[in-house]
Amino acid sequence: MAAALTVSCLLAAGGFAVSADVGQPELPVPALSDVHCASYCVYDKTTDMYVISYNMNDKIYPASQTKIMTCMLALDYLDTSAKLTVSETAMATVTSDSSVMGVVVGEKVKVSELLYGLILPSGNDAANVLAEGVIDLIFEKYPETGTDVGPDGVNAQYFITALGDTRENILASRKIEAFALLMNLRAEAIGCTGTHFVNPSGLHDENHYTTARDLTQMISVAGDNEDFKTLISSPSHVFQATNMHRADAWAYVKSTDYLLFDPWLAAKTANGTDSHLAAVIGGKTGTTSAAGKGVTIYTVNENGHELMISICGIPAEYYFYTTMYLASVTAHGHLACWENDPVTVVPGTTGDYRTVNAPDSEQPQYDPLHYPGDELPQALIEPEAEDVTPAPEEGSGEAEPAPDTPEQQPEEGSPLILFIKNNKKTSILIGSIMAAIVILNIVLLIRINNMRRPKTRKAKVKKDNRIGL
């Protein structure tokens, strides 16, 4: 036993790989008819067309998909390098079951950090702090006494009139309500016809609703901002130190949009047809018991079209299938888009950029860093070298160059034989140790056997004496 363990260790140290059948299995996406949800929609921003849809205008509760709008407004109004202070009013409506970034009252946090806290861990605390920051800025930069207006065409007077309250009261306790008014103003301006917001986080309220169609409109407009695309495409983030969290990396957060990590899942439709999905930029998830689960994402087709996909109202018993449902809608939507315009614009498809989780059969044929297309470009295929050595020019005085050394062909044989051939000294050492171990084990066995024999004879004598009695 000792010898076997030692040999195993030596083999491992010698560089012999140990393989196990733990590869990723093939995972076909479900057919659209098997997707359990309240609604879905695939919007082609390039052509302004809805490629495929199901109940896309039905009212749904967006949950944290609301934060797409919150992020859009925060980026339009706030300086990402500025710092906001977390107030008591911002934290007052953060319920015990809320998803949070983890900030506390009195903490001074950069807007950029709050935006990551809004999108990745889906922090309701970050949403409220950003919302209050936007309203503070509007009252400061676009006061009711002036004529300047913000990106949405209003100044502080709009909120004073709409809420029927004073400037002081709004800034003291009603900034979240004021921000919801701004959200609805922006929603109407970008063409959302079935949306009404009452808070920046998506906390459930009967009067806080939208549609799958409107969510695709929101992410489409938000995606015009490069910072927004950076946020939703970030797989993870490490938070910087603040006055309350004194060390960097006080929290590490990851995106909850799992299709961002494994876009290959949407590379084919349910029947195995190539979807022509080129890239998943990213998106935002949302979940409450009343809303169910939903995801809205930003993607790109091989033909260059930008597609926005939203799936809403997945029941609790199907939460586990959310990513597969999203992959199905994404794949079928992209195939429909490709069939409308089958021209390759973006080199390669998502199959050429798959992550390590993809099964072997789904891996790209060529290194995507060098050959991002589906096939190796003809121009990059090196011609076979002719076996001709050019003669030196007359009068050059240079010696005839030696012919190029041909590339060494890979040796055939088992890995053990190849290792012994290429590492003779190491092989001799390992062999000597193994032989010594074998000899030691033989000696040990002989000694054990010799020690047992006298005991056996003595036991036999005693037995014979008892019989003689």
Could you tell me which residues are beta bridge partners of residue 60?
210
Whether residue 117 is found in the same domain as residue 187: yes
Q: According to the model, what pLDDT value does residue 159 have?
A: 98
Q: According to the model, what pLDDT value does residue 401 have?
A: 43
Using an 8 Å Cβ cutoff, are 142 and 156 in contact? yes
Task: Report the helix count and the strand count for the chain, using DSSP H and E.
Answer: 13, 9
Rounded distance between C-alpha atoms, residue 346 and residue 301, angstroms: 8
Choose one of 325, 359, 377: the last residue of a domain: 377
Q: Is residue 365 part of a domain?
A: yes
Rounded distance between C-alpha atoms, residue 360 and residue 352, angstroms: 12
Q: Between these two residues, 429 and 461, which has the higher pLDDT value?
A: 429
With b for 16 or more beta-carbon neighbours within 10 A and e for fewer, the 265-295 pattern comes to bbbbbbeeebbbbbbbbbbbbbbbeebbbbb
Q: According to the model, what pLDDT value does residue 375 have?
A: 47
Q: DSSP 3-state assignment of 421?
A: helix
Rounded distance between C-alpha atoms, residue 306 and residue 346, angstroms: 11
Q: Is residue 263 part of a domain?
A: yes
Q: Is residue 444 part of a domain?
A: no
- 11 falls in which pLDDT band (50, 70, 90)? very low
Choose one of 377, 412, 436: the last residue of a domain: 377
Q: According to the model, what pLDDT value does residue 416 have?
A: 58
Region 216-228 average pLDDT:
97
Rounded distance between C-alpha atoms, residue 187 and residue 195, angstroms: 7
Using an 8 Å Cβ cutoff, are 276 and 301 in contact? yes
Q: According to the model, what pLDDT value does residue 406 have?
A: 41
Q: Between these two residues, 30 and 461, which has the higher pLDDT value?
A: 30
Window from 62-76, 321-335, 369-383 with minimum mean pLDDT: 369-383
Whether residue 227 is found in the same domain as residue 189: no
CATH code of the domain in which 109 resides: 3.40.710.10
Q: Which domain holds residue 178?
A: 65-202
Q: According to the model, what pLDDT value does residue 429 have?
A: 78
* pLDDT per position as a tens digit, 151-169: 999 999 999 999 999 999 9
Whether residue 195 is found in the same domain as residue 291: no
Q: Which helix (H) or strand (E) holds 236?
A: strand 236-238
Region 50-70 average pLDDT:
98
Rounded distance between C-alpha atoms, residue 123 and residue 203, angstroms: 11
Q: Between these two residues, 450 and 30, which has the higher pLDDT value?
A: 30
Q: According to the model, what pLDDT value does residue 352 have?
A: 52
Crossing angle of the two packed helices 111-119 and 67-77, in degrees rounded to 10: 170
Total number of domains constituting the chain = 2
Q: According to the model, what pLDDT value does residue 443 have?
A: 82
| 466 CB neighbour count, 10 Å cutoff | 8
Is residue 332 scored above 70 in pLDDT? yes
Is residue 370 scored above 80 in pLDDT? no
Choose one of 202, 225, 247: the last residue of a domain: 202
Using an 8 Å Cβ cutoff, are 116 and 231 in contact? yes
Rounded distance between C-alpha atoms, residue 214 and residue 129, angstroms: 25
- How far is residue 211 from each of residues 65, 83, 214, 336, measured CA to CA in Å? 11, 33, 5, 22
Is residue 403 scored above 80 in pLDDT? no
- How far is residue 289 from each of residues 62, 67, 205, 292, 404, measured CA to CA in Å? 11, 17, 12, 5, 71
- 455 falls in which pLDDT band (50, 70, 90)? low
Whether residue 264 is found in the same domain as residue 281: yes
Q: According to the model, what pLDDT value does residue 391 have?
A: 45
Whether residue 155 is found in the same domain as residue 197: yes
Region 313-337 average pLDDT:
97
Q: DSSP 3-state assignment of 171?
A: helix
Q: Is residue 314 part of a domain?
A: yes
Q: Is residue 413 part of a domain?
A: no
Whether residue 179 is found in the same domain as residue 225: no
Q: Is residue 461 part of a domain?
A: no
Q: DSSP 3-state assignment of 283?
A: strand
Whether residue 44 is found in the same domain as residue 90: no
Name the pTM for this structure.
0.74
Is residue 454 scored above 70 in pLDDT? no
Q: According to the model, what pLDDT value does residue 27 have?
A: 81
* pLDDT per position as a tens digit, 254-310: 999 999 988 989 999 999 999 999 989 999 999 999 999 999 999 999 999 999 999
Q: According to the model, what pLDDT value does residue 404 have?
A: 44
Whether residue 215 is found in the same domain as residue 361: yes
Cα angle, residue 271 at apex, residues 269 and 275 outer, rounded to 5°: 25
Whether residue 197 is found in the same domain as residue 125: yes
Q: Is residue 320 part of a domain?
A: yes
Q: According to the model, what pLDDT value does residue 334 have?
A: 97
Using an 8 Å Cβ cutoff, are 181 and 200 in contact? no
Q: Between these two residues, 414 and 436, which has the higher pLDDT value?
A: 436
User: In this structure, what is the dihedral angle of CA atoms 87, 91, 92, 94, given to the nearest 10 degrees?
Assistant: 160
Q: According to the model, what pLDDT value does residue 469 have?
A: 36
- 427 falls in which pLDDT band (50, 70, 90)? confident
Mean pLDDT of the chain: 83
Whether residue 281 is found in the same domain as residue 354: yes
Whether residue 327 is found in the same domain as residue 355: yes
- 240 falls in which pLDDT band (50, 70, 90)? very high
Q: Is residue 248 part of a domain?
A: no
Whether residue 191 is found in the same domain as residue 267: no
Q: According to the model, what pLDDT value does residue 346 have?
A: 82
